[in-house]
Protein backbone atom coordinates (compact mmCIF):
# COMPACT_ATOMS: atom_id res chain seq x y z
CA UNK A 1 0.00 0.00 0.00
CA UNK A 2 1.16 3.48 -0.80
CA UNK A 3 0.87 5.65 2.30
CA UNK A 4 1.48 9.39 2.43
CA UNK A 5 2.58 10.49 5.88
CA UNK A 6 3.62 13.65 7.66
CA UNK A 7 6.96 12.86 9.29
CA UNK A 8 6.96 14.57 12.69
CA UNK A 9 10.32 13.40 14.01
CA UNK A 10 13.21 12.11 11.87
CA UNK A 11 13.14 8.39 11.06
CA UNK A 12 15.79 6.20 9.47
CA UNK A 13 14.95 3.92 6.56
CA UNK A 14 17.14 0.93 5.71
CA UNK A 15 18.59 0.19 2.29
CA UNK A 16 15.96 -1.52 0.14
CA UNK A 17 13.04 0.46 1.64
CA UNK A 18 10.91 2.58 -0.68
CA UNK A 19 10.78 6.35 -0.11
CA UNK A 20 8.73 8.63 -2.38
CA UNK A 21 8.62 5.91 -5.06
CA UNK A 22 12.36 5.17 -5.11
CA UNK A 23 14.11 2.14 -3.65
CA UNK A 24 16.93 3.27 -1.35
CA UNK A 25 20.46 2.05 -2.12
CA UNK A 26 21.64 2.88 1.40
CA UNK A 27 20.10 3.73 4.75
CA UNK A 28 18.67 7.25 4.79
CA UNK A 29 17.30 9.70 7.34
CA UNK A 30 13.84 11.05 6.51
CA UNK A 31 13.23 14.49 7.95
CA UNK A 32 9.93 16.24 8.79
CA UNK A 33 7.56 16.86 5.89
CA UNK A 34 5.25 14.81 3.67
CA UNK A 35 6.64 11.59 2.25
CA UNK A 36 5.40 8.36 0.68
CA UNK A 37 6.49 5.34 2.74
CA UNK A 38 5.41 1.69 2.49
CA UNK A 39 2.50 1.03 4.88
CA UNK A 40 3.89 -2.34 6.04
CA UNK A 41 7.14 -0.68 7.12
CA UNK A 42 5.23 1.91 9.16
CA UNK A 43 3.39 -0.86 11.00
CA UNK A 44 6.51 -3.00 11.48
CA UNK A 45 8.53 -0.14 12.96
CA UNK A 46 5.64 1.27 15.06
CA UNK A 47 6.31 4.82 13.87
CA UNK A 48 2.62 5.77 13.86
CA UNK A 49 1.92 4.55 17.40
CA UNK A 50 5.17 6.08 18.66
CA UNK A 51 4.29 9.52 17.25
CA UNK A 52 7.05 9.71 14.64
CA UNK A 53 4.65 9.95 11.67
CA UNK A 54 1.03 10.91 11.10
CA UNK A 55 -0.70 9.06 8.21
CA UNK A 56 -2.47 11.33 5.72
CA UNK A 57 -3.67 8.89 3.05
CA UNK A 58 -3.39 5.23 2.05
CA UNK A 59 -3.84 4.24 -1.60
CA UNK A 60 -5.25 7.71 -2.29
CA UNK A 61 -7.92 7.56 0.42
CA UNK A 62 -7.69 9.90 3.45
CA UNK A 63 -6.88 8.27 6.77
CA UNK A 64 -9.65 9.05 9.27
CA UNK A 65 -9.17 8.36 12.97
CA UNK A 66 -12.16 7.28 15.07
CA UNK A 67 -12.96 9.15 18.27
CA UNK A 68 -11.12 7.65 21.24
CA UNK A 69 -14.33 6.89 23.10
CA UNK A 70 -16.47 5.80 20.14
CA UNK A 71 -17.00 2.41 18.55
CA UNK A 72 -13.94 0.87 16.91
pLDDT digits (tens, 9 = 90+) for 2-30: 889 999 999 999 999 999 999 999 999 99
| Rounded-to-10 torsion of CA 6, 8, 12, 16 | -10
Give burial (CB, 10 Å; 0-12/13-18/19+) of 56: middle
Domain boundaries of the chain, sorted by first residue = 2-59
Element (H, E) at 33: strand 33-38
HSE-up of 7 (CA within 13 Å, CB side)?
17
What is the C-alpha to C-alpha distance for residues 59 and 72, in angstroms, rounded to an integer?
21
pLDDT in tens, 50-72: 889 998 998 888 887 666 665 55
Amino acid sequence: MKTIVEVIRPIRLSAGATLNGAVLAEQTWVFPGQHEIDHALLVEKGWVTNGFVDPISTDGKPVVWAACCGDH
